[in-house]
Structure 1
Amino acid sequence: SRGRSPAPRSRNQPQGPSEMAGRAANDEVDMGEIKNVVIDDYSKGKASSTRGGTTLRPIAPTSASVGPVVHVLLGLITVVVLVCLGLGAAIYVEVKDSNGGADCDGLANQVSALQDKVSQTEASCTAAFTSEVYTFEVHKQKFPSCLRPPGYPNHAWTDILAEAEGSTVNFYSWDGSNQTNSWIDYWLKPRVADYFNINLVRVGIDDTAKAVDIVRTEVNQNNAAGSVGLIWINGDNFAVMKNENLLYGPWADRAPNSVSFDFLSPAIALDKGIATDGLEMPYNLAQSVFITTLSQAERPKTIPELVDWVKGSGQGKFTYSQDFTGQLLVRFFFHEYAGGPEVFTSPYDNNGPMAALYAQRAPLVWAKLNEIAPFLHTSADGTKYPDEHPQVEDLFANGDIQLDVSYGTSDAATKIEAGLYPPTTKGYVLDSGTISNTNFVAIPINAASKPGCMVVGNYIAQLESMFSRAQPERWGSLQSLNPKAPHIANTGWLEAFDYVETQSHSSTPTVEELAAGRLGELHVSYVIKIEEDWKANVLNAP
């Protein structure tokens, strides 16, 4: 162990999940004396009980879970690097083209030899994955395998904790919700200060692309102590950062709390069609809902019914914003009139078959959106499409509109409890379903304190953190945890989350309704294309 471990937390260890479920909203929602979970040898493929604990079958570090190890790039110079962090094995293969004087005829043999070493390393990593103990105690957690984040080849997690102590982490987060801001400022910030002596600073932004621009500029200036730490991110911003090599990692699928997620599931392995590759830690599972004060008989239950309602009895009672929440509504129309991921099965390709299909079907979407445009709510200053979704929420709160769409599953309940929305407000799922996706936190490649960022990111994935975000009075967000993970399924945590769900406000759709109506997202290339074309064909239409 390198350096000293962080000082123990000042508070008493919190209570267990069975007791947490019934606590009042203003009480602590921490974890308690929960049984340790023993990770048995993967090769045995079975569970055994130890001191009342439950075995956790680890994810075998195969090529699928470890991520791409071998990359052969055509060009002047290709460097293939494999590092099995923790075992201290580093392999470098340099390949030059024939003009550089190297023997490229031996490339296949070199790659084959490298693959053999990869297999040997994976076997060693699996063998080392024996009798490790997963614990909920934040100062005793361990890396779940021999794999380590880049730059920390021989570190234990306690070494990461020690290096993180005293650091400052700037958390760039969307600033459009008082609820999410409050969770960071008043729940997360004091706990990471107490547990890890980390100063967490929330930096509110109205567009994540601004954080991406800051990172890009600092990287281009060779600033190795970047001002951006964690970023709340997904979709096109993640795609841009990954494509431009602006992200640090893989780290998320190697952190101690990675065992609470299934990193091979499509909801986590892909971010709007882009492989996450351990560069992002799951934050929340977002499923959109429609929010209304209309009676059940009056409310539109499909997009075609919404079109009819807006043109009929709902004239002036609906609008949508220009930001990412408004674009969610646009994609609902795209799913209905052009098709979803089941139709657009591969990324948008300029001059290819997907581009041709898009060109054929997208005009139907713009036609329908333009069809309802004359009947949307228009403010006194002539604004038809508000810049940001909070402006739409204000219209709803004032009774100016009767229908909205939101990524917040519990938004109606939260605003009713806050006295902002009338008690008759109801969140619901369309008969045709509603779009869902996962959002994440990521670390820029030039973050000033990568240990601090990893520690905060890992704690965001702590079950007590997820539980607090699931509480409707705090946030009410869905969580993307793996319910089959034994340390979740067999220690009372599922019952705790179930309790929160059963205590949900009557205005919130049931878990069953949400699960039955969950629609997948289009590939990020379409998300970007749709937004651009909406601006050209609807927002700025002549």
Structure 2
Amino acid sequence: MYGGDERDNRYVDEVLAPAAQEKGVTLRRVAVPDTADALNRVLSERQAGWQSGLVDLIWVNGTHFSVGRQADVWQCGWTDLLPNMEYTDPEDSLITDDFGTPVDGCEAPWHKAQFTFFYNSDAVEDPPTSLEGILEWAQEHPGRFTYPAPPDFTGSAFVREVMLSTAGGAEEVPLEYSVEAFEKHAPEALDALRGLAPALWREGRRHPRDEQELNRLFSDGEVDMAMTYGPATLPGLIATGALPESTRALTLMEGTVGNASFLAIPANAGDAAGAMVVANLALSPEQQAAKADLEVWGQFTVLDLERLSPAQTALFKTLTPSPVVPSYEAISHKAHGELGAGWVMALDEAWRRGVAAK
């Protein structure tokens, strides 16, 4: 799993792994700089003919899941075997499709995320309430806004949000990528991003490499707005001093993109049974509530709370609400699903060639 965030590492090491040990499974977290590294390891093992690989479970979603489906590296049809899947909504599109790729039992849901902008309330007195307004604010406040360079996950999502905005809304852009749709909707977004560049931090000549570097710029007061796909983690970052106490989340009138993270098992996993035990445990109301705790990790649950018993529901109702981030119901208002994985790669490359190179 991605190892660059202290809170997700600590949750796995101190909460999930001990619970797995109680069920007879030793869970060893292997940190990678990017999920692609884990996928490449599996691909290399497959190419070498390893029938029993060293990777049993991967935290994955989006393009990495899609690439794995195309390469036939995931075990599929196993999530129906997990008893705790009964607590999820089978009609929830965020857990039945992953960036336009049908899940088809090839990965188990882990938590939800919502792309969110946040700002320094000491510096921004009247924050914008739409993406168009954010871009206008950035033009009016040169040097106070930037975004990570794609293919960073957060920066890539920002570019897609700009395209949906310039297209007139998410409903105007087809989920599935095609050259025709790209040629219709991408040019205006790329034009907008090129026009924005001179107003960015360092005049757009350099972008933060990832969300963590963007957070440091925000914390150091070099920019007044930032963005994340994990807004529930903001209170924890404030508590540790990684972000200022004046940090506040923005909700946009038109909504933002949302998705879910998953746990996938490679087809050649050496211990698929143990991996299934962990995936099922990670879906339990107890683990989902622990992970949603702002003091632990602070991630939105994938469970349908209406399917839980009163005692299980109480686990979530006793969680302390955040003064910084609205509830998931509020922050996901008018949310739209992710575009197909083909869009991600095409837009990232178009940004590299048409925006970063300028």
Give the alignment's TM-score, normalised by structure 1. Answer: 0.63
Q: How does 1:118-517 map to 2 (within 5 A)?
A: 173-193=1-21, 195-294=22-121, 297-313=125-141, 315-322=142-149, 323-338=152-167, 342-349=171-178, 355-378=179-202, 384-485=206-307, 488=308, 490-500=309-319, 503-517=320-334
Structure 2 counterpart of 1:536, which letter? R
Deviation at 1:404, TM superposition (A): 0.4
Alpha-carbon displacement from aligned partner over 1:176-216 (angstroms, at most 9, x marks no partner)? 211111111111112212x1232211111222111111111
State the SS of the aligned residue for 1:476: coil
- Residue 475 of structure 1 deviates from its aligned partner by 1.3
Distance 2:18 2:176 in 1: 42
- Give unmatched runs, 5+ long, in structure 1: 1-172, 350-354
Q: Is the 8 A contact 1:319 1:384 kept in 2?
A: no
CA distance in 2, matches of 1:453, 1:526: 31
Residue by residue, what CA displacement relative to the aligned partner does 1:121-179 show, whole Å, maximum 9, x if unpaired? Answer: xxxxxxxxxxxxxxxxxxxxxxxxxxxxxxxxxxxxxxxxxxxxxxxxxxxx1122111
Match of 1:535 among 349, 352, 355: 352
Deviation at residue 261 of structure 1 after TM alignment: 1.2
The structure-2 alpha-carbon separation of the partners of 1:340 and 1:246, relative to structure 1 and needing over 3 Å to count, comes to farther
Whole-angstrom CA distance in 1 between matches of 2:92 and 2:255: 21
User: How much is the aligned-residue C-alpha RMSD, in angstroms?
Assistant: 1.8
Instruction: Check whether the contact 2:215–2:242 (CA below 8 A) recurs between aligned residues.
Output: no
Gap change, CA 1:306 and 1:415, over 3 Å in 2: same
TM-score by length of 2: 0.94
Q: Which amino acid aligns with 1:507?
A: V
Aligned residue for 2:201, secondary structure, equals: coil
Q: In the alignment, is the contact (CA less than 8 A) between 1:292 and 1:404 conserved in 2?
A: yes
Is contact 1:253-1:263 (8 Å) kept?
A: no
Deviation of 1:457 after TM superposition, in Å, equals: 1.0
> Structure 1 residues 339 and 215, CA, compared in 2 at 3 Å: closer, same or farther?
farther
1:406 CA displacement? 0.4
Tell me, in whole angstroms, the C-alpha distance in 2 between the residues paired with 1:346 and 1:432. Answer: 17
Q: 1:203 to 1:523 in 2, by over 3 A?
A: same
CA contact (8 A) 1:310 1:375 kept: yes
Cα deviation per residue 1:376-401 (whole Å; 9 max; x = unaligned)? 1129xx96212121111111111111
Describe how 1:94-133 pairs up with structure 2 within 5 A: none
> Counterpart of 1:159?
none
In structure 1, C-alpha distance between the alignment counterparts of 2:245 and 2:345, rounded to whole Å:
37
The letter for the 1-side match of 2:26 is: N
**Residue type matched to 1:459 in 2?**
L
Q: Distance in 2 between matches of 1:260 and 1:201?
A: 26
Is the contact between residue 268 and residue 282 of structure 1 (CA under 8 Å) also seen in structure 2?
yes
Q: Secondary structure at the match of 2:30?
A: strand
Kindly provide the CA deviation profile for residues 421-457 of structure 1, in whole angstroms up to 9, marking residues without a partner as x: 2221111211221211011000000111111111111
In 1, Cα distance between equivalents of 2:167 and 2:226? 22
Identify the structure with the greater helix proportion.
Answer: 2
**Residue 282 of structure 1, CA deviation:** 0.5
Larger Rg belongs to:
1
Q: Secondary structure at the match of 2:79?
A: coil
Q: CA deviation at 1:286?
A: 0.5
> Residues 441-474 of structure 1: CA distance to partner in whole angstroms, max 9, x if unpaired?
0000011111111111111111111001111111
Question: What is the rounded CA distance, in whole Å, between the counterparts of 2:329 and 2:306 in structure 1?
Answer: 18
CA distance in structure 1 between the partners assigned to 2:232 and 2:176 by the alignment: 32
Q: Distance in 2 between matches of 1:339 and 1:218?
A: 45
The answer on whether the counterparts of 2:173 and 2:185 sit within 8 Å (CA) in structure 1 is no
The question of whether the paired residues in 2 share the 8 Å contact of 1:310 and 1:376 is answered with yes
- 1: CA distance, partners of 2:297 / 2:54: 27
Matched residue type, 2:10: S
1:469 partner letter: K
Total equivalences in the alignment: 355
Task: Give the corresponding residue for 1:105.
Answer: none
CA distance in 2: counterparts of 1:251 and 1:338, whole angstroms: 39
In 2, the alpha carbon distance for the partners of 1:371 and 1:439 equals 33
AA aligned to 1:242 is: R
Aligned partner letter, 1:464: E
Shift of 1:508: 1.0
Q: Secondary structure of the equivalent of 1:436? A: strand
Alpha-carbon distance between aligned partners in 2 of 1:285 and 1:340, rounded to the nearest angstrom: 22
Whole-Å separation in 2 of the counterparts to 1:474 and 1:207: 22
Residue 341 and residue 276 in structure 1: after superposition, are their counterparts in 2 closer, same or farther (change >3 A)? Answer: farther
Cα–Cα, structure 1 residues 451 and 343, in superposed 2: closer, same or farther, change >3 Å?
same
Contact 2:116–2:249 (8 Å) recurs in 1:
yes
1:338, distance to aligned residue in structure 2 (A)? 2.5
Q: Which runs of 5+ in 2 are unaligned?
A: none
